[in-house]
């Protein structure tokens, strides 16, 4: 339940970004760097070797922003939002199919 509330809060913040009431999406995405010489080209937070996927995986596993910031002191809250904005951009055009079992479980709910 806490994860759902946190995700809802993140979605609301991204919605606010689209309206221009918080840091603009473009500004957030400037915090992401993709350099083949750094972490084999994986998207990272600019100036670090912290992968975007690491941040998103931690959030998906239920870690709070505070836990992530504590574990990675070089990060700022905006970096976490940037990772989510980047992940959101990827989902606009790319979809991963769910397994048949997962789809059955979703339909059963």
How far is Cα 37 from Cα 40, in angstroms, rounded to an integer?
A: 6
Residue 32 region by backbone torsions, left for phi larger than 0, else alpha for psi between -120 and 50, else beta: beta
Question: How confident is the model over 39-59, as a mean pLDDT?
Answer: 97
Tokens, residue 98: 């769910």
Give pLDDT tens digits for 66-104.
Answer: 999 999 999 999 999 999 999 998 888 777 777 766 656
Domain 24-92 has CATH 3.40.50.2300: no
3-48 pLDDT, tens digit per residue, is 555 555 665 565 555 555 446 888 999 999 999 999 999 999 999 9
Closest of 15, 36, 14 to residue 82, by C-alpha: 14
- Position 95 scores a pLDDT of 75
Q: Which residue has the tokens 């998906």?
A: 60
pLDDT of residue 92: 80
Give the residue extent of every domain in the chain.
24-92
Residue with tokens 């979703």: 106
Q: Environment class of residue 33 by beta-carbon count within 10 Å: exposed (0-12), middle (13-18) or buried (19+)? A: middle
Check whether 52 has a pLDDT greater than 90. yes
């Amino acid at each position: 339940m806490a994860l759902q509330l946190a995700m809802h809060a993140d979605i609301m913040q991204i919605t606010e970004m689209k309206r221009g009431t918080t840091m603009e999406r473009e500004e957030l995405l400037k915090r992401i760097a993709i350099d083949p010489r750094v972490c084999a080209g994986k998207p990272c937070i600019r100036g670090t070797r912290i992968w975007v996927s690491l941040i998103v995986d931690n959030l998906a596993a239920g870690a709070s922003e505070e836990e992530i910031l504590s574990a990675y002191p070089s990060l700022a809250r905006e970096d976490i939002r940037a990772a989510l904005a980047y992940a959101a951009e990827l989902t606009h055009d790319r979809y991963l199919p769910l397994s048949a079992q997962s789809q059955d479980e979703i339909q059963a709910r």
